[in-house]
Amino acid sequence: MAQGIFVITEQREGTFRKVSFEALSEGRRLADAKNVPLVAVLCGSGLEALAGDLEKYGPDLILVADDPALAEYTTDAFTNVIAEAVKAQDPELIIIGASITGKDLSARLAARLDAGLAMDCVGVRLDGGDFVFTRPMYGGKVVADVTIDGTPKIAALRPNVMTITEAPRSAAVEKLAVQVGDVKTTVVERKLEATDKVELTEADIIVSGGRGTAGDFSVLEDLANTLGGAVGASRTAVDEGWRPHSDQVGQTGKVVSPNLYVACGISGAIQHLAGMSTSKVIVAINKDPEAPIFSKADYGIVGDLFKVVPAVTEEVKKLK
Amino acid sequence: MEIVVLVKQVPDTESLIQIAGDGVSIKTEDLKWVMNPYDEFAVEEALRIREAQGGTVTILSMGPAKTVETIRTALAMGADKGVHINDPAAEGSDPLATAKILAAALKDIPFDLIIAGMRAVDGDNYQVAPAVAEFLGIPQITQVIKEEISGDTIRCHQVVEGGTAVIEAKLPVLFTAQRGLNEPRYASLPGIMKAKKKPLDVKTLADLGVDAGTAGTANRKVKIKALNPPPARKAITMIQGDDPVAQASELVKKLHEEAKIL
């Protein structure tokens, strides 16, 4: 009978994605509740030192697939290796962080294993021993509770939602015999922007702008820099060419869940609200007291963002 | 170049989504239905590739009778023909079952390239297109914002956290379209007129050799137990006054002392 929980971790050049620790913490909690082992899976090349980073979050076993052919993520190689490990160990549940790579991998892996996949979960709970997965649909306009028939079940967790909990224990480390198999894609290059830029889906704080900025994001950038956050944008701001596509928050852009979302000059179209409504605290700054964004915010200021936002930046500096 | 675009009809993103009386589905009566926005990028890219290289663009979509409107929209944009899988037994299929049905349909449609939206904005599963690639045994490249084809090789720029990855593969390939790939064209009036005469095949599961006992709501592996509205937020606290400095000070104080996030 399928038993135990797998967490597929994600690292690039020796640095784990934060969502991997979120997934491990969630895995530990569920493994304790079911009294089953938690297995972390680590894939890449030159990983000797990395298994130790995972022990902090409490896996009982770390499976390491260490091979030069796994240095770069490719869908084929990672699916082949992980599918084999899953078949050998027969876990009941596989947890993956729903980063861009995690979405690509979990979808392919689910098809390979003929396994049900709950994508972009914001919650997992046990109901009489059965896993119930909570996931937004329709861009977060509704939230579904789903169960998965058969095993393995796969849950991809939305980044930035689950709490990271340290639960250190010494884990057994086992090397997997790696057979990367047929790999039909080649990674030609990776172009990464300056590494000090915070990725929107992982940012703790997002300062976002819309039509009200009239294209001038300088005061928003100052506040984001002061807070150590990232800058986001509404569809209008992107369609106007004021910000790149990668900054767009909404149902047709990125779905974000920061601790603090500051919406500046954003009216709050339904499709924008769908992309940020799971933020923990939402602040709206808008000239129009009737703007729909105020119906979704925790704190609101009716005012000129070009006056209010710089003043907020100054107050934050004072606090620090 | 034989190109197939996977298209889905979804509720417009400006729609208010309401939960139906059964608690596990949504009210569909008053919705406006449109082509999934990411599929528009997929159709547009297929048309551009055909314009450069020649070939055929086939639209493949599964859904009830009204799905034909979305297929016609793609034909009006310039696609050559459509295949509509319309079978009550397929309604409510989960992503795995849907992908198996689409893959079965693709056995009868020649393709060098399959393009799909990177996700459908109703189920938000990001899953059907990669599963189709798996069932066809071809590579997938997801979330693509730029592609170049030379000979039998495609090179795609894929969005990754913090940048892009450039991925190359030999055709046949399935890639999924991310926002930024292109600006989809509008259907022209002559395009709309022409679309009415373009071939559109309708298929049932039996036509595709798919067992109805593997499809539909009753045979989902991922079962929807309940739909709920998103958690309600507390009532908003408006920061009063009209002096920006005083407002800012009050806001930061609240974020620090009350919300405890600064």
- Tens-binned pLDDT, residue by residue, of chain A (320 aa): 899 999 999 998 899 999 999 999 999 999 999 999 999 999 999 998 899 999 999 999 999 999 999 999 999 999 999 999 999 999 999 999 999 999 999 999 999 999 999 999 999 999 999 999 999 999 889 999 999 999 999 999 999 999 999 999 999 999 999 999 999 999 999 988 765 677 899 899 999 999 999 999 999 999 999 999 999 999 999 999 999 999 999 988 999 999 999 999 999 999 999 999 989 999 999 999 999 999 999 999 999 999 999 999 999 999 98
Distance from CA of B163 to the nearest CA of A (A): 4
Q: Are residues B186 and B257 in the same domain?
A: no
Q: Are residues B149 and B245 in the same domain?
A: no
Cross-chain Cβ contact A103/B248 below 8 Å? no
pLDDT tens for residues B197-245?
999 999 999 999 999 999 999 999 999 999 999 988 889 999 998 899 9
- Across the interface, of A110, A145, A146, the residue whose CB is closest to B127 is A110
Q: Which residues of A touch B130 (CB under 8 A)?
A: 75, 104, 107-108, 111
Q: Are residues B185 and B262 in the same domain?
A: no
Is residue B53 situated within a structural domain?
yes
Distance from CA of B73 to the nearest CA of A (A): 20
The domain spans of chain A are: 5-175, 200-319
Extract the tokens encoding A125: 């709970």
Kindly state the average pLDDT of the residues B73-100. Answer: 98
Distance from CA of A221 to the nearest CA of B (A): 17
CATH of A5-175, one of 3.40.50.620, 2.60.40.10, 3.40.50.300, 3.30.530.20: 3.40.50.620
The structural domain count of chain B equals 2
Q: Are residues B165 and B242 in the same domain?
A: no
Written in H, E and C, the secondary structure of chain A is CCCCEEEECCEECCEECHHHHHHHHHHHHHHHHHCCCEEEEEEECCCCCCHHHHHCCCCCEEEEEECHHHCCCCHHHHHHHHHHHHHHHCCCEEEEECCHHHHHHHHHHHHHHCCCEEEEECEEEEECCEEEEEEEEHHHCEEEEEEECCCCEEEEECCCCCCCCCCCCCCEEEECCCCCCCCCEEEEEEEECCCCCCCHHHCCEEEEECHHHCCCCHHHHHHHHHHCCEEEECHHHHHCCCCCHHHEECCCCECCCCCEEEEECCCCCHHHHHHHCCCCEEEEEECCCCCHHHHCCCEEEECCHHHHHHHHHHHHHHHC
Indicate the SS3 state at residue B141: strand
CA dihedral A184→A186→A190→A191, nearest 10 degrees, is: -90
Q: Are residues B169 and B260 in the same domain?
A: no
Q: Are residues B253 and B187 in the same domain?
A: no
Cross-chain Cβ contact B11/A138 below 8 Å? yes
The amino acid at A228: G
Cross-chain Cβ contact B167/A188 below 8 Å? yes
Q: Which residues of A touch B138 (CB under 8 A)?
A: 184
Total Cβ atoms within 10 A of residue A223: 24
Cross-chain Cβ contact B140/A111 below 8 Å? no
Is residue B227 situated within a structural domain?
no
Cross-chain Cβ contact B121/A193 below 8 Å? no
- The verdict on ipTM greater than 0.90 is yes
- Across the interface, of A76, A112, A189, the residue whose CB is closest to B139 is A76
Cross-chain Cβ contact A145/B224 below 8 Å? yes
Extract the tokens encoding B154: 């495609």
Same fold: A5-175 with A200-319: yes
In chain B, the residue whose alpha carbon lies closest to the alpha carbon of A149 is: B221
- Across the interface, of B124, B133, B167, the residue whose CB is closest to A136 is B124
Distance from CA of B76 to the nearest CA of A (A): 23
For chain B, the helix, strand and coil percentages under 3-state DSSP, each to the nearest 5: 30, 30, 40
- Model pLDDT, residue A192: 82
Cross-chain Cβ contact A315/B170 below 8 Å? no
The CATH superfamily holding the domain A200-319 is TPP-binding domain (3.40.50.1220)
- Model pLDDT, residue A195: 55
Q: Are residues B25 and B100 in the same domain?
A: yes
Provide, rounded to the nearest whole percent, the portion of chain B with pLDDT above 70. Answer: 100
Q: Are residues B19 and B92 in the same domain?
A: yes
| pLDDT higher than threshold 90 for residue B185 | yes
Distance from CA of A300 to the nearest CA of B (A): 5
Q: Which domain holds residue B17?
A: 2-219
Cross-chain Cβ contact A103/B165 below 8 Å? no
Q: Are residues B204 and B238 in the same domain?
A: no
Give the domain CATH number at B194. 3.40.50.620
Q: Are residues B207 and B236 in the same domain?
A: no
Q: Are residues B6 and B105 in the same domain?
A: yes
Q: Are residues B194 and B82 in the same domain?
A: yes
Cross-chain Cβ contact B160/A190 below 8 Å? yes
